[in-house]
Copies of this chain bind each other. A is one copy, B any other.
Amino acid sequence: MSKWVYRFGDGAAEGRADMKNLLGGKGANLAEMASLGLPVPPGLTITTEVCTYYYANGRTYPDTLESEVNQAVAAIEKSVGARFGDEENPLLVSVRSGARVSMPGMMDTVLNLGLNDKTVEALAKQSDNARFAWDSYRRFIQMYSDVVLGVDHYHFEELIELHKEEKGVDLDTELDAEDWRQIAEGFKAKAQEELGYPFPQDVKEQLWGAIGAVFSSWHIERAKVYRKLNNIPEDWGTAVNVQAMVFGNMGETSATGVAFTRNPSTGDKEYYGEYLIDAQGEDVVAGIRTPQYLTKMAREEAGATAPSMEESMPAVFGQLADVFDKLERHYCDMQDIEFTVQHGKLWMLQTRSGKRTAKAALKIAVDMAAEGLIDEKTAVLRVEPGALDQLLHPTLDPDAPRDIFTRGLPASPGAASGIVVFDADTAEEMAKEGKAVILCRVETSPEDIHGMHAAKGILTARGGMTSHAAVVARGMGRPCVSGAGQLRIDAKNGVMSATGREVKAGDTITIDGASGEVMVGEVKTLQPELAGDFATLMKWADTYRKLKVRTNADTPHDTQTAREFGAEGIGLCRTEHMFFEGERIVAVREMILADDLEGRKSALAKLLPMQRSDFEEIFKIMRGLPVTIRLLDPPLHEFLPREEDEFEDVAKSIGADVEHLKRRAAELHEFNPMLGHRGCRLGITYPEIYEMQARAIFEAAITVEQKTGDTVVPEIMIPLVATRKELETLRAYVETVAEEVFTETGHRVEYLVGTMIELPRAAICADRIAVAADFFSFGTNDLTQTTIGISRDDAGRFLDQYVKQDIFAQDPFVSIDQEGVGELVKMGAERGRSTKPDLKLGICGEHGGDPASVEFCHRTGLDYVSCSPYRVPIARLAAAQAALKG
């Protein structure tokens, strides 16, 4: 038979800190503190399994729950020496929710439960403080009515205001016991009026009402949204904690407060917190009175006058400081603590690991390791990899004023200021003149790449978090705000407007890619600090991880950035981005328009030296490390103009007939280009393209080896392979070119030929494809598109709703869909290695920089992940954590 209720108090407990899944965070830590001998009011925890039972059984409870609760309440009564509902010596309790992790929107707390018209009198007598008793009662009626019975709290606040008006006073403190008694009566009447039945006087009814309210609040909208945002499963459930009340509002020797054992913002080793004398817990949070500092030093630094707790209650503060140290030593982590002082006695109400900024997380982890509190491994596990993103980009100075123009999606982190330009060419020109520019487009396309690269930041009016602009900007490490829905861009007239204001080309704006805000004018930014704690922690991480971390980089600049961030090679160099720049696009279009093989070859001959010099630069920067180059992937029509008015310009620039150009564009048009004539299909139908690229790679590798003396090992990657025969055919072309170049130059280089696994068929047939492959790189972007059948460019229309309705736990383009897409990756890895046990396996694409996906790759036995330069540190840390957790 299940045990549904766990008790704690009097220096002992049935639970432990490691029972969070069962008891929730709060309950488990209360139990732990009780066992540690810390002063914890006695109580009981109803387990999360009851919550699960509750939802699985039409909102009913297990049979034995009531008797278990009754026995536990009896134990509290015995410990406190009071009885629940007793008209002489009543026990009052608090009821709090307690999930594994705290969650806004959940029913938080009902205090003073157990008060009714009889017990309030007893409390007045017992405490010899009628004002306290009636104040407590009216608080209880208000709180219980609000959170349990659903009567909005403004009804009650109104009554207090009316009473104060009648009496002609301004402050609550000016109300006496009789005032509160009258107000309590008014509250009860109001509750009855709203509810249609009287406010419950039966304390058991009160208790079960509060328990039910906690469980019900698990399914309210706000909690669900929070869980969604934070990837907390619906089926975890919440526990309920029932605990004897202690009172911080019993006069000048009573107080209540919250504290962190270190500074959660900076990570500095100093007590950090606030307290209020003669107050109950929610008063600190509510902001009605200004809380006071905990320590003298903090008060002095802030220039505040109200005495700190250290000064006003030195003895209790001393006890508290001891508790802080004890808890930090016990938990080996910074603690976030709630406490109450009742008549000079300290009671601990909560402890938990404290939330912290990325900067603080780093510092605390590194400091604690230095202090010997934790070891390096634990330090590595303490920092959320995703949080590093905040540290790697310039951020807006939080103190600088902001003149908000509009908002969009936080599509790529970092902040940047610059002058507004509306097209890629102008962006490139002005950047060459040394100007900082922000490229503002309705949406971006591959033709904007050079402008995006030249810009300090990108702003788009349309497109989601995985739009072209967002993906490319993240790849480049450029801040980006995408999908600013209110923004109207009129590029022709060089102006954009939002909410009635206009910004013209040449005006300065600032975008914050972390918040999605767009500001008029320049806002001061702070540069990232990559040495110090960051460097230390990354060094530790590198010693533990098994996965190599490479980068996706197409330009020398990105390659350089990635190498500085610790990339161990390039996992994906997309050659098509190189096709759009300057002169090249002209040659590319000539090639596409050529009527025959000869025409194509002559256009390709123009591209060869340009591609070769790109590769030379990249090989030089990455020297000594592997570089994976993907041969041409996108369908050819991507290189032709789209808009009617562009055709004439393009026709002129390449010296082609505009009708011919249009006809060719129409011929190449595809209904579903994602599933079209692209990837290795281009190599099969136009071998000359891949041959040119292979030649450029080999010639560049040989030049760099000869010039630098370093070994260059190009890894040539064939995209979109579905069958072994495709890879065999194209591999043969590459090998032929290699031998030609080796013969011509009298110099050989080592090289690998492998393939992307980015189609379900490739994963399924991986054992056969592996015969012709030296390596696999899982292209999980396209694999996600094909496996789930969703186009990344179009998914915006329903993906939000899919995530909201919990159909997808997360956007599958952000974090790999382990159940579906991941299963194919596993299959591909296993089958590939069944043919070639030492097959090199990696992943490229956006998932390579997502911590959960990195962990998945580690578990699946891949050799490396590859991600955009700015996510390299995130991947390094995530890989280390995956290794340590495994």
Contact A673 B671 (CB under 8 A): yes
Contacting residue for A672 out of B729, B764, B794, B823, CB 8 A:
B794
Is B821 touching A681 in the complex (CB atoms < 8 A)?
A: no
Cα A759 to Cα B768 with chains together (Å): 22
Q: Which of B685, B726, B798, B824 contacts A760 (CB 8 A)?
A: B824
Q: Most B CB atoms within 10 A — which of A675, A782, A788?
A: A675
A512 at the interface (CB under 8 A from B): no
- How long is the Cα–Cα vector from A761 to B808 in the complex, in angstroms? 12
Q: Which stretch (A182-190, A271-279, A489-497, A717-725) binds chain B?
A: A717-725
Q: How far is the CA of A78 from the CA of B808 in the complex (A)?
A: 80
| Residues of A745-763 whose CB lies within 8 A of B | 758-761
**Distance, CA A486 to CA B785, complexed state (A):** 37
In the bound complex, residues from chain B placing their C-beta under 8 Å from that of A802 are 681, 684
Question: Within the oligomer, what is the number of copies of this chain?
Answer: 2
Residue among A758, A759, A808 with max Cβ neighbours from chain B (10 Å):
A759
Q: Give the chain B neighbours of A760 by CB distance below 8 A.
A: 760, 786-789, 820, 824
Q: Min CB distance, A622 to chain B, in Å?
A: 30
Minimum Cβ distance to chain B for residue A470 (Å): 15
Output the least CB separation between A859 and chain B (Å).
Answer: 17
Which A residues, 719 to 743, have Cβ-Cβ distances below 8 Å to chain B?
720, 722-723, 725-726, 729
Q: Which residue of B lies closest to A759 (CB)?
A: B789
A582 to B120, CA, bound (A): 76
**Which B residues lie within 8 Å of A758 (CB)?**
789
Rounded to whole angstroms, the CA-CA distance of A760 and B793 in the bound complex is: 20
**A787→B726 CA distance, assembly (Å):** 16
Per the CB 8 Å criterion, the residue count for chain A at the interface is 48
| A764 to B808 alpha-carbon distance, docked (Å) | 16
B789 & A723 in contact (Cβ 8 Å cutoff): no
> Are the CB atoms of B819 and A788 closer together than 8 Å?
no
Given A685-B801, A765-B820, decide whether A785 and B674 contact each other with a Cβ distance below 8 A: no
Per-position contact with B for A797-820: 1 when CB-CB < 8 Å, else 0? Answer: 110011001111000000001011
Which residue on chain B has the smallest CB distance to residue A682?
Answer: B798
Q: Which residues of B contact A504 (CB under 8 A)?
A: none
Contacts of A720 in B (CB 8 A): 789
Q: Using Cβ atoms and an 8 Å threshold, which residues of chain B touch A791?
A: 670-672, 674-676
In the complex, A785→B675 CA distance in Å? 8
Taking the closest CB of chain B, its distance from the CB of A831, in whole angstroms, is 11
Task: Note all chain B residues with C-beta closer than 8 A to A786.
Answer: 675, 760, 786-787, 789
A676: which of B723, B794, B819, B824 is its contact (CB, 8 Å)? B794
Q: What are the residues of chain B within 8 A of A524 when measuring CB–CB?
A: none
Interface residues of A in 661-685 (CB under 8 A from B): 670-677, 681, 684-685
Chain B residues closer than 8 Å to A723, beta-carbon distance: 807-808
* 8 further interface pairs, Cβ-Cβ under 8 Å (given A670-B794, A786-B787): A672-B794, A676-B791, A677-B794, A677-B798, A684-B805, A722-B790, A729-B807, A760-B760
Interface residues of A (CB under 8 A from B): 670-677, 681, 684-685, 720, 722-723, 725-726, 729, 758-761, 764-765, 768, 782, 785-791, 793-794, 797-798, 801-802, 805-808, 817, 819-821, 823-824
3 A-B pairs closest in CB distance:
A761-B820, A672-B791, A675-B791
Can you show 25 pairs from A to B with CB atoms below 8 A apart? Answer: A670-B791, A670-B794, A671-B673, A672-B674, A672-B785, A672-B791, A674-B675, A674-B791, A675-B675, A675-B790, A681-B798, A684-B798, A684-B801, A684-B807, A685-B801, A722-B789, A725-B807, A758-B789, A759-B789, A760-B760, A760-B787, A760-B788, A761-B820, A786-B786, A786-B789
